[in-house]
Structures are given as structure tokens and as C-alpha cells.
């Protein structure tokens, strides 16, 4: 039996009131915002050590002596899952109970009539779960509504989403709540037949579409072919790394802007670009963000870090203190001209798990991030999808191509371009192979396209 679709669980009046209160904070000064954040942090830390056995043991002494947050231990996904029952602050919840609910027939419903729960496989492939109490879920959705208002999306805007098919995934759950305040918006997901999506979009004529960056490419190809006939002014993207070529595709195809958003399943909506599309403004009234190096030492604004640490301020059921996200983030070095008080992420280079290792000319090894190899693929006509698969002695590049394209010619061009890119940084893989497949499957509950896959994640051969 397939899971039931998610339904809205929030009272729309309460959501409107809370989002209005959050929106008013856009007028705060930077000093007001940071003062509020500091007060909320101390409140959350006190709650954590009094209500969570895990935090009482690990940070109780640090809170008692008012240590700086940078002195606190880091919590990663493995530790979260291993210690879930001791981290969660409501004694009615445990990991197995949440997992049973998510694996059941109606994962989109409230657990125990109170808790919104979700799961993620993430880039690492290790499953993570989360639970939001009613107040935390209201805060999460109101934060998303505020972000949307910042970029001109109101309740009357013809806005719709095309994200995950499974109610296990947080994007599906958020979509259900947002459709409740826009009742005419149709529900679509990326695993539906393309023909169905095209027909629905043509009928609805959305002003704004929220989806994965990879799906913007799909829609652009349909528009170019003449099957899709829409005129959106804005795309909101999330969950996959947004690259400049996707912005260019949206601009060339529809003269549309792309505004990126930043959502973490375990934490909720965390950031969003304003219409300047020059970095992700962060919800610092709901989180504390730290960019650190591999040894968890802070890095300066304008310097790329190895990971992002997030401390939640609104979810009292599952508080996260310095939770590790493997995004390689660079914070902005100057305020945004838009005037919002929220600082912003200037760029996300990708995940640490997307780093590829090759033999190096002259001996040793060299690490090359998969995003460095994107350009030869995005710049090659006829390529529909692509994915990198690391091999013990090199790299396999999987591609799917559009109908009528000579796959052999495209493969040779890509192989030559990738070799030249790697050669420029002294990387010398023994094996470099381009493999043409019918399609590259979307994976996990989120139905995202992984940039870097494992060799075990096979796609059907085209030939």
C-alpha cells in the first residue's frame, strides 16, 4: 500500500498570525536580532539540560559555567540517531516509534496526534529522523511563509511546488501546509509522469514554481519543445545545489529569477535568498549558525568552511545543539543591500561527501570537488542528466541525453573536457569512463538527484 499524501495540520489563522509576527522582525536592527537570538539560545540550552538526559550529561557543566557555544561538543547525524531516545525531551517519543510511524500507511499524519515527523537519507546515505511539536512546526512553516513574503509571494500569488512524492520527506509536508493557504494550487511531485506535470502547469499557469534545480532543467526542455507553455516570473529552488547555469536557463527560457532556499529535514527551513539572489538570508531568530573547519574551529566571513553547525531555538521536543551539516559554506563578508537584518550565506560549494579523490601527477592523491566538473557537462548540448560515480582507480560519468542526440559524440566530447579539467589540477585517474543510461533515478524519500552516487546505485543501461 502506498503512503497517504500529507494533509495540512496547522490552523491557518494561527499560521497567518505567527508569520505576520515573524515578518515584522524584518524591520529589526541587526543589534535587536542578535540580542533576541542570544536570549533564545540561553533559554533553549537551559531547557535542553533540564529535559534531555543526553544534553544534561554532555553540556550540563558547560551551561552551568556559561561557556561560549564554540566550546560545546558537535552533534552529527550518527550520534543523533544513536542517542535519539535520550535527546528527545518528550518521554512518549522514541526512535523506533517514530520510525514505525514513518514506515506506516499514513506517515503524513500527526504522531500521537501532536508531532510532525520526517526522515532523510541525506547525501551520506545514513537515515535521519526528526520530530516537531506543534509550536515548533508552526514556527517552521511561518518561517517559510515569511521568506516567501520577502520575495513577493502572498496568499493570492499563483504559487505551487513540485517536490518529493513521499509524505516522509519534509518538502512534501511543507507543501501541504502552504497549499492550505492557497487552496487552488494543485499538488504535484517530481515522480509523476512529465506529461501530467506539463498538463497541470499549462492549466494552472503559475507565477511561481518551487522545485529542485534539476527539475528546472526538465521544465525548460519541455518549454523549449513547445509542450509546456507557462510564463513564471520566479523559481524557488531547494534541496540540491543551485548552480549558475540553472539561473541562466530560467532567465533565457522565461526571463525568470531563481531564488534559492535552504531547508534541513532535521531543523526545518533555515534560509532563503531575497530577490537580489545574492546569498541565502538566514533565520537567525530561529537558529544559531557557525561555519567551521574540519576541526570545528570557526572560520572568518568570506572564507569557505568545511561544515555548518546549526543550533535550533524553536524545537523544544528535539533540540539540536551544534548539529553538523556537511555543506561547505562561505558566509557573506558584507551586509546585503536589501536591508534585511539577517546575515547570509554567500555560497555553498557542495557537500563534503561530493569530494572526489584521484591519483596525482608525481605521486600522492588530490581531492577535486564534483562541482568543479559540472561545467563540461552543463556546457555540452544534448545532455539531459548527469551523475558522477567514484571508482577505485578513477571516475565514471553517467549521462542521459535528449532524443535525437548522437550519444557517442556527446560522450567523447565530455570525456575530453573532463580529462582536460582534471589535468589542469594534476589529477590523473587511471579510468575515466562516460556511460550513457536511459535515465538517472531520483533517490530517497526526497526524490532528489544525487550529484555523486555510489557504484552500487545502478541506472539502467541505454545500450
Structural domains in the chain plus CATH codes? 12-351 (3.40.50.12780), 360-436 (3.30.300.30)
Rounded (10°) CA dihedral 51, 55, 56, 58 = 180
pLDDT at 158: 95
**Please, what's the b/e burial string for 257-266 (b: 16 or more CB within 10 A of its CB; e: otherwise)?**
bbbbbbbbbb
pTM of the full structure:
0.80
CA dist 338 and 276 (Å) reads 8
CA dist 408 and 387 (Å) reads 17
Give the Cα-Cα-Cα angle 206, 207, 210 (nearest 5 degrees): 75
Q: How distant, in Å, are the alpha carbons of 52, 60, 289, 296, 345 from that of 70?
A: 20, 15, 11, 8, 19
pLDDT at 268: 94
User: How, if at all, do strands 159-163 and 208-211 pair?
Assistant: parallel
Question: Which residues fall within 8 angstroms of residue 408, CB to CB, at 6 or more apart?
Answer: none
* Number of helices and strands in the chain (H, E): 13, 19
Question: Which residues fall within 8 angstroms of residue 3, CB to CB, at 6 or more apart?
Answer: 104, 105, 106, 107, 108, 166, 167, 168
Question: Which residues fall within 8 angstroms of residue 299, CB to CB, at 6 or more apart?
Answer: 291, 292, 293, 305
pLDDT at 457: 45
CA dist 167 and 153 (Å) reads 24
CA dist 238 and 247 (Å) reads 13
Residue 364: how many other CB atoms lie within 10 Å: 8
pLDDT tens digits along 346-399: 998 776 566 677 888 888 887 776 666 766 665 566 677 778 888 888 888 888
List per-residue pLDDT tens for the chain, 463 residues long: 455 666 788 999 999 999 999 999 999 999 999 999 999 999 999 999 999 999 999 999 999 999 999 999 999 988 999 999 999 999 999 999 998 898 888 988 999 999 999 987 655 556 788 999 999 999 999 999 999 999 999 999 999 999 877 788 888 889 889 988 887 889 888 888 999 999 999 999 999 999 988 889 889 989 999 999 999 999 999 887 788 889 999 999 999 999 999 999 999 999 999 999 999 999 999 999 999 999 999 999 999 999 999 999 999 999 999 999 988 899 999 999 999 999 999 998 776 566 677 888 888 887 776 666 766 665 566 677 778 888 888 888 888 876 777 888 888 888 888 888 888 888 888 888 888 888 776 555 444 556 677 654 444 444 3
On the 0-12 / 13-18 / 19+ scale of CB atoms within 10 A, 447 is: buried
- Closest CA relative to residue 265, chosen from 359, 132, 162: 132
User: How, if at all, do strands 257-264 and 234-237 pair?
Assistant: parallel
Amino acid at each position: 500500500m502506498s503512503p497517504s499524501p500529507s494533509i495540512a495540520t496547522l490552523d491557518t489563522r494561527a499560521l497567518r498570525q505567527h508569520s505576520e509576527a515573524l515578518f515584522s522582525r524584518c524591520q529589526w536592527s541587526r543589534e535587536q536580532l542578535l540580542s533576541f537570538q542570544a536570549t533564545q539560545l540561553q533559554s533553549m540550552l537551559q531547557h535542553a539540560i533540564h529535559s534531555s538526559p543526553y544534553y544534561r550529561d554532555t553540556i550540563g557543566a558547560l551551561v552551568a559555567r556559561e561557556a561560549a557555544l564554540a566550546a560545546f561538543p558537535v552533534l552529527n547525524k550518527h550520534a543523533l540517531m544513536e542517542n535519539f531516545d535520550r535527546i528527545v525531551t518528550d518521554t512518549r517519543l522514541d526512535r523506533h516509534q517514530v520510525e514505525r510511524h514513518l514506515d506506516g500507511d499514513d506517515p503524513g499524519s500527526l504522531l500521537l496526534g501532536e508531532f510532525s515527523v520526517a526522515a532523510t537519507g541525506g547525501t551520506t546515505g545514513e537515515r535521519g529522523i526528526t520530530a516537531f511539536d506543534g509550536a515548533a512546526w508552526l514556527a517552521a512553516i511561518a518561517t517559510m511563509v515569511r521568506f516567501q513574503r520577502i520575495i513577493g509571494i502572498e496568499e493570492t500569488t499563483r504559487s505551487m511546488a513540485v517536490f518529493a512524492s513521499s509524505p516522509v520527506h519534509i518538502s512534501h509536508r511543507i507543501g501541504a501546509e502552504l497549499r492550505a493557504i492557497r487552496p487552488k494550487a494543485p499538488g504535484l511531485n517530481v515522480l509523476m509522469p512529465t506529461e501530467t506535470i506539463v498538463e497541470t502547469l499549462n492549466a494552472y499557469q503559475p507565477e511561481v514554481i518551487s522545485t529542485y534545480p534539476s527539475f528546472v532543467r526538465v521544465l525548460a526542455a519541455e518549454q523549449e519543445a513547445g509542450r509546456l507553455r507557462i510564463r513564471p516570473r520566479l523559481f524557488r529552488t531547494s534541496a540540491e545545489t543551485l548552480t549558475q547555469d540553472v539561473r541562466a536557463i530560467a532567465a533565457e527560457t522565461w526571463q525568470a529569477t531563481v531564488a534559492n532556499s535552504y531547508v534541513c529535514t532535521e531543523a526545518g527551513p533555515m534560509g532563503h535568498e531575497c530577490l537580489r539572489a545574492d546569498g541565502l538570508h538566514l533565520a537567525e531568530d530561529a537558529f544559531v549558525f557557525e561555519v567551521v573547519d574540519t576541526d570545528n574551529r570557526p572560520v572568518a566571513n568570506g572564507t569557505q568552511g568545511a561544515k555548518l553547525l546549526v543550533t535550533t531555538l524553536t524545537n523544544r521536543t528535539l533540540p539540536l545543539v551544534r548539529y553538523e551539516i556537511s555543506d561547505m559554506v562561505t558566509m557573506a563578508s558584507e551586509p546585503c543591500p536589501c536591508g534585511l537584518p539577517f546575515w547570509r550565506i554567500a555560497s555553498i560549494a557542495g557537500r563534503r561527501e561530493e569530494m572526489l579523490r584521484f591519483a596525482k601527477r608525481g605521486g600522492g592523491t588530490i581531492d577535486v570537488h564534483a562541482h568543479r566538473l559540472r561545467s563540461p557537462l552543463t556546457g555540452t548540448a544534448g545532455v539531459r542528466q548527469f551523475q558522477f560515480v567514484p571508482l577505485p582507480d578513477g571516475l565514471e560519468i553517467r549521462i542521459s541525453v535528449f532524443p535525437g542526440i548522437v550519444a557517442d559524440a556527446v560522450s567523447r566530447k565530455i570525456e575530453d573536457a573532463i580529462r582536460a579539467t582534471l589535468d589542469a589540477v594534476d589529477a590523473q585517474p587511471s579510468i575515466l569512463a562516460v556511460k550513457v543510461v536511459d535515465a538517472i533515478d531520483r533517490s530517497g524519500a526526497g526524490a532528489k538527484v544525487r550529484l555523486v552516487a555510489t557504484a552500487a546505485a545502478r541506472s539502467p543501461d541505454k545500450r
